[in-house]
Amino acid sequence: MIDKKCICEETQRHFLERAFGRLKLKGAQRELLLSSFRETRITVPVTLRHNGENRLHTFQGYRVQHNHARGPFKGGLRYHPDVNMGEIRALAQLMTWKTALVDIPFGGAKGGISVDPLQLNETELEELSRRFCQKMAPIIGVHDDIPAPDIGTNPQVMAWMLDEYSKTHGFRTAIVTGKPLELGGSAGRLEATGYGVAHLTHKAAEDISLKPEQSRVVIQGFGNVGSHTAIALASKGYKIIALSDVNGGVMNEAGISIDHALAHVADNGTLMGLHGASPISNAELLELSCEILVPAALEGTITCDNVEAIQAQLIVEAANMPVTHQADERLQQRGIVIVPDLLANVGGVLASYYEWVQNLQQFPWDRETVLSRLENRLSRTYDAVNILASERQINLRCAAYELAIRRVEQAVRLRGF
Ligand code: NAD
């Protein structure tokens, strides 16, 4: 089995070292930008019901606060069995570059618990989330560190955390983003990441002269990001020919109805058995003949093992770090365009920023306002990256890292860290 910890840290390190070299950053400057401000590891005890008996179980929880030169730490909370400090550290760093790239006043953080949330019932999940929040309370805060949902967590988890934090700090809606609307969540936040992925996919597709109606799209992962990307791309006229979740994939060369797929998942909890589509494995799905491939599940899905079989012309990294650095190099050599994660899925943290702003001002915006501001800011960010890439004759990933690192490095220098 591939070691996820190695993949994330190695991949992130490689992309950063390359950018540091081009920006001519030296030893201590590099070290400051690479090292975490704080890495916290906790044990979370939860009483689980097993075979009719109550048993105390412990889970490992993590929060890495990478850099806060430009504002409070910001980043998601992941519940997944593979969560470990190395993965969370790499994802926290990535958040620092994302918030800088899209130019919002946040730093970068990430948290997680090594747990399979599907094995826990609702009561156990609530206890786990509340205990995690209690133990993390001293280091999070409305102007210090603001968690959000990621893989395996959702608005309900954020609601439990909001409630737990508010017991000792007073009602603080801005302590988490990605909350339910009823508790100060933002209109448009739930779909924002996928909506942004689709918007940037469309811009990148236009740049390589791909027309929606002639473009076959394959999406791996049909959770929050994958499903909303599919909805938004389908509404722009793209043909979605394959989708997948953790159980496997489904395909139909003539196109899959996204409404039909959503209804099937709502009834069955999985895409498997979708009427009118043939089953395929997740590995086969990545290698399908298509114009656009959107990995929207986990990191490390495109590696040296499958890179030669990839047939897409455009890869949009909706997931974080889905392409290893070795595979990235090979894809670039083959002329395949990649919209990198720090740009592709930045709509999520951008909408989280809008939610935080609305909470602080106690003045909610409507969905159209949120999504039109999101689109404008994403377009500006994409254009800035694209222009730098053409000027310097580098790819979009290199350009995005350069823009982001330059902003963080300036803030670090001005603050005198
Ligand atoms: P999610 O938990 O809602 O969905 C994950 C999807 O991936 C599910 O369909 C799941 O079945 C599938 N999956 C899990 N393991 C898989 C495997 N081994 N093979 C194939 N599919 C698998 O998570 P999400 O919020 O949609 O996040 C997806 C990715 O996007 C992650 O990399 C996350 O870090 C990134 N991301 C999410 C957000 C956000 O706002 N939710 C923002 C930025 C980036």
Which of 143, 6, 29 shows the shortest CA–CA distance to 412? 29
Contact call for residues 271 and 292 (beta carbons, < 8 A): no
* Rounded Cα–Cα distance for residues 173 and 162 (Å): 7
Q: Is the pLDDT of residue 3 over 70?
A: no
d(CA 345, CA 352): 12
| pTM recorded for the entire structure | 0.95
Q: Whose CA is nearest to atom 22 of ligand 1?
A: 246
**Phi, psi (5° rounding) for residue 279?**
-75, 140
Residues 41-100 pLDDT 10s: 999 999 998 878 899 999 999 999 999 999 999 999 999 999 999 999 999 999 999 999
Q: Which fold has domain 36-171?
A: Rossmann fold (3.40.50)
Element (H, E) at 348: helix 347-361
Where do the structural domains in the chain lie, given as residue ranges? Answer: 36-171, 190-344
**For a substitution probing ligand 1, which of 4, 78, 83, 298 has the most ligand atoms within 8 Å of its CB?**
298
- State the pLDDT at residue 7: 78
pLDDT (mean) for 402-412: 97
- Please indicate whether residue 246, judged by its CB atom, sits closer than 6 Å to ligand 1: yes
CA 29 to CA 331: how far, in whole Å? Answer: 30
How many whole angstroms from 199 Cα to the centroid of ligand 1?
18
**What whole-number distance in Å separates Cα of residue 298 and Cα of residue 97?**
19
**Active-site residue numbers?**
110
Task: For 327-339, write each residue's pLDDT tens digit.
Answer: 999 999 999 999 9
The length of the chain in residues reads 417
pLDDT in tens, 134-185: 999 999 999 999 999 999 999 999 999 999 999 999 999 999 999 999 999 9
User: Does 190-344 match 36-171 at the fold level?
Assistant: yes
Using the CB atoms, write b or e for 40-67: b if 16+ within 10 Å. Answer: bebebebebeeeeeeeeeebebbbbbbb
Backbone angles phi, psi at 104, to 5 degrees: -115, 150
Nearest to 111 by CA among 58, 45, 158: 158
Residue 249 C-alpha to ligand 1 middle, in angstroms?
A: 14
Residue 336 CA to its chain's centroid (Å): 22
Sorting pLDDT into bands at 50, 70 and 90, what band is 5? low
CB 357 within 8 A of CB 173: no
Q: Which of 22, 105, 32 is nearest to 413 (CA)?
A: 32
Pick the CATH number of 190-344 from 3.40.50.10420, 3.40.50.300, 3.40.50.720, 3.40.50.1370: 3.40.50.720
Beta-bridge mates of residue 38:
65
Alpha carbon of 244 to ligand 1 centroid (Å): 11
